[in-house]
Amino acid sequence: MENQLVDAITLAGSVNENDFSVVALFLRADLIVKSVVVILFLASIWCWAIIFQKWFGIRRLNNRSSEFEKVFWSGNSLDDLFDRISNQPRDPMSAVFVAAMREWRRSGSPTSSSGAHVSLAERIDRVMQITVVREMDRAERYMTFLATTGSTAPFIGLFGTVWGIMNSFQSIAISKNTSLAVVAPGIAEALFATALGLLAAIPAVVAYNKLSRDLDRYAGRLETFAGEFAAILSREMEGDG
């Protein structure tokens, strides 16, 4: 009876070691490898959340900016547009417009001197540039996490792999058995950490490059609008002069 019980336990252990599913690999791993897997898994989930949030966010920014540009270039009064959206700009482009108009109104009626015109134009331009930087900083929030994950996740996974292989060599030394059945589970656990590291890093790198290019394009759009609006206000000042 005792021999049968020992044989059953041995058979159960062999079946468990031959199970190479993701869950089985995680459960068999030691604390260090489990910690690596958990860190990479959480980083991957957070990266995907950032990717979807940024992708939809950039589309929303472009759509709202297009709506604002349509109204801005429609020929209607800019003062009426400012009064309508000054309390709550819906997108960075309208925020740039509101900041410039607020500075324009704060200055009152500009004097006829060219020095006053230059000073006001410089203040308006400075206000718009500050607003562009602030709005782009807000739009680029969490992008650093994508870059960090893309550059560090493979090395974190590699650390788990090295640790798992070290455990496999220890198993060889303890059992004094170099058969594949002894080292295969440990090596599989180690390679699982590397695979998860790549699974977290590759989407993060691809998404970071794509989103960075889209954000740079949108930043250029804001800079173009700021320059055009500055030219409009400059003509207004010259006309008042």
Residue 165 belongs to some domain of the structure = yes
According to the model, what pLDDT value does residue 16 have?
Answer: 54
Sign of CA dihedral 107, 112, 114, 115: negative
According to the model, what pLDDT value does residue 135 have?
Answer: 93
According to the model, what pLDDT value does residue 177 have?
Answer: 65
State whether residue 91 is helix, strand or coil.
coil
Please give the tally of structural domains in the chain: 1
Both tokens of 42, joined, read: 């959480």
According to the model, what pLDDT value does residue 115 have?
Answer: 55
According to the model, what pLDDT value does residue 170 have?
Answer: 75
Both tokens of 121, joined, read: 């134009």
According to the model, what pLDDT value does residue 178 have?
Answer: 64
Q: Which range marks the domain in which residue 37 is found?
A: 30-240
Residue 21 belongs to some domain of the structure = no
Separation of alpha carbons 122 and 124, rounded Å: 5
Mean pLDDT per 10-residue section of the chain, whose length is 241 residues? 40 48 70 87 95 95 94 88 89 93 76 61 91 94 94 92 80 68 70 88 96 96 93 78 49
Residue 67 belongs to some domain of the structure = yes
Residue 39 belongs to some domain of the structure = yes
Residue 233 belongs to some domain of the structure = yes
Residue 118 belongs to some domain of the structure = yes
